[in-house]
């Protein structure tokens, strides 16, 4: 069954506002990565977390292995933040292969 | 650092033909991964190598698909007798740390089987 449930599937934000994306896991994961797909279709690394939180500019991510979720917070959204965001996680028992969420299509508007 | 390099970027092939996709990982990275992205299935794992040795091919279709890593600087994914359902974006990724680390993705090869 689905191991990574990502929500929302789509999100519209007014420029300057913020929101959060979330991934729930149906099994124990040992690490999570967040990506943004750029305009050329490449996956750009945002965060890798094995625990706790990380912050980079207007983005902040958290991962709780025990509670089986990860979040990506975006604040002060800008037009260039528009794109598709993916979370991907490594199962604790399955080596380094990533299991991906279905993605969140983010649109930031003026 | 050029990142992960994948060639070709686009490939169109006829049903029944063979397709070979190439990946050059980031220099010094010990793990190489192959994934596939389709509209229906999303992004899904195919196979991975560590220090050129195959570790997990649980995501590979049992027939027609094979992957090799003959040296540390490149890996290939070969699809024999391609079918329309093989049409997808094939992504290669590499990572540095044997114990788990950030995977860096290439731009992908968009395969279209007519």
Q: Of A41, A97, A102, which is closest to B56 when you measure between CB atoms?
A: A97
Q: Helices then strands (H, E): number in chain A?
A: 0, 11
Inspect the interface and report whether the beta carbons of B102 and A45 lie closer than 8 Å: yes
Mark yes or no for CB contact A31/B33 under 8 Å: no
Q: What band does B20 get if pLDDT is binned at 50, 70 and 90?
A: very high
- Interface contact A100-B103, CB threshold 8 A: no
How much is the pLDDT for B1? 67
Give the mean model confidence (pLDDT) for residues B65-74: 95
Span A2-25, pLDDT tens digits: 699 999 999 999 999 999 999 999
CB-based burial, B93-108: b 16+ in 10 Å, e otherwise: bbbeeeeebebbbbbb
pLDDT at res. A20: 98
Look up residue B26 and give its DSSP letter: P
Q: What are the tokens at A98?
A: 């990533």
Residue A81: the pLDDT is 95
Return the pLDDT at B99: 65
**Residue found under tokens 């990572």:** B95
Residue range A32-46, pLDDT digits in tens: 999 999 888 889 999
Lowest mean pLDDT: which of A63-67, B1-5, B32-36, B40-44? B1-5
Q: Does A41 touch chain B (CB under 8 A)?
A: yes
Evaluate if residue A1 carries a pLDDT over 80. no
Amino acid B112: pLDDT = 97
Which secondary structure element, helix H or strand E, spans residue A4, and what is its range? Answer: strand A4-7
Structure tokens at A67: 């509670």
Phi, psi of A14 (to 5 degrees): -75, 140
Give the residue from B25, B7, B16, B21 showing the smallest Cα distance to B80: B16
Are B43 and A88 a contacting pair, CB within 8 Å?
yes
Res A93: pLDDT: 79
Residue A94 confidence (pLDDT): 75
């Amino acid at each position: 069954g689905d191991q990574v449930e990502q929500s929302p599937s789509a999100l519209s934000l007014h420029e300057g506002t913020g929101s959060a994306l979330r991934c729930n896991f149906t099994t124990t994961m040992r690490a999570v990565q967040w990506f943004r797909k750029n305009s050329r279709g490449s996956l750009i690394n945002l965060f890798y977390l094995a625990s706790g939180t990380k912050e980079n500019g207007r983005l902040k991510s958290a991962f709780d292995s025990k509670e089986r979720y990860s979040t990506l917070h975006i604040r002060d959204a800008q037009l260039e933040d528009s794109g598709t965001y993916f979370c991907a996680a490594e199962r604790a028992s399955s080596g380094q292969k990533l299991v991906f969420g279905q993605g969140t299509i983010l649109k930031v508007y003026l | 650092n050029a990142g992960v390099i994948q060639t070709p970027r686009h490939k169109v092939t006829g049903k029944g033909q063979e397709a070979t996709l190439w990946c050059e990982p980031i220099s010094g990275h010990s793990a190489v991964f192959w994934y596939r992205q389709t509209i229906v299935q999303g992004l899904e794992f195919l196979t991975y190598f560590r220090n050129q040795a195959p570790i997990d091919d649980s995501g590979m279709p049992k027939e027609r698909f094979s992957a090799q890593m003959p040296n540390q600087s490149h890996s290939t994914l070969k699809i024999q007798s391609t079918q329309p359902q093989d049409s997808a974006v094939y992504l290669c990724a590499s990572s540095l740390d044997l114990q788990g680390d950030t995977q860096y993705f290439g731009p992908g090869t968009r395969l279209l089987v007519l």
